Amino acid sequence: MARVWMFGNDVNTDQIIPGRYAPYMLKNEHDLRKYPFVEARPDFAPNVEPGDLIVAGPNFGCGSSREYAPLALKMVGIGAIVAPLFARIFFRNALNLGIPCFTADLTQTLRDGEQVALNVEQGVILTERGMRIELPAPPSFMREIWSAGGIVPYYRAYGRFPGEQRA
């Protein structure tokens, strides 16, 4: 089972990782895993478990291009992020790192702290309350990047960008 971590609207990358906690600023870059939501939600990093689900309102990840924001979420093993709208740089960064992002509004459907089972491949969430939630399927090129493990393994495997025709 996975825990639901509920966040509000317009969660920015300074909230996910303040600039002062960038790998650039750290003595040990692996410490990044200690700092997701360090100020915005201090109970997150000590309690998050691999596979847990972030559910948020619109414009999740707005602000900076800092890839270490989704990287920190990857380091703690976030299973997926579900929001009705993602800020575009965050979305690309998360896609590139292979973090599943589903575009849907579950802020009124799920509750913070609730236990759910998430099947990323099928895009299905089952709740302890007996709900079955089907997530909208992402475009095929995104699923291809996820299944390759991110854009770098994708590019190394295919020698091209998604949708690119190479002579």
Partner 1 sequence: MVGIMIAQTLSEQILSHAAGHPVRAGDVATVSVDLVMMHDSLSPSIIKVLHEELGAERVWDAQRVAVVIDHVAPASNIQTAEKQAGLRQWVRDQGITHLFDVGRGISHQVLVEEGLAQPGLVIVGSDSHSTAYGCVGAFGTGMGTTDIALAAATGRTWMRVPETVLVRAIGRFRPGVSAKDLGLRAARILRADGATYASVEWHGIDFLSIGDRMTLATLSIEIGAKAGLIPPIGPAASGLRIPDWLAVQAGADYVRTVDIDLSHLEPQVSAPHYVDNVVDLTELGRVAVDVVYLGTCTNGRYEDMAAAARILKGRKIASGVRMLVVPASSEGLRQAAEDGTLRTLLAAGATIGTPGCGACIGRHMGVLAPDEVCLFTGNRNFRGRMGSPQANIYLASPEVAAATALTGYITHPQDVLER
Q: Which residues bind partner 1 (CB under 8 A)?
A: 10, 12, 14-15, 18-20, 22-27, 39-40, 58-59, 62-68, 70-71, 85-89, 92-93, 96-97, 141, 150-152, 155-156, 160-164
Which residues fall within 8 angstroms of residue 122, CB to CB, at 6 or more apart? Answer: none
Q: Nearer to partner 1 by C-beta: 96 or 115?
A: 96
Rounded CA separation 40/22 (Å): 16
Minimum gap (Å) between residue 5 Cβ and partner 1:
18
Residue with structure tokens 């089952």? 126
Minimum gap (Å) between residue 18 Cβ and partner 1:
5
Q: Nearer to partner 1 by C-beta: 47 or 65?
A: 65
Burial (CB count <10 Å: 0-12, 13-18, 19+), residue 55: buried
Q: Nearer to partner 1 by C-beta: 62 or 125?
A: 62
Minimum gap (Å) between residue 14 Cβ and partner 1:
4
From edge to edge, which strands make up the β-sheet containing 101-103?
101-103, 80-83, 53-55, 2-6, 115-119, 124-127, 132-134
Q: Nearer to partner 1 by C-beta: 7 or 114?
A: 7
β-bridge partners, 60: 86
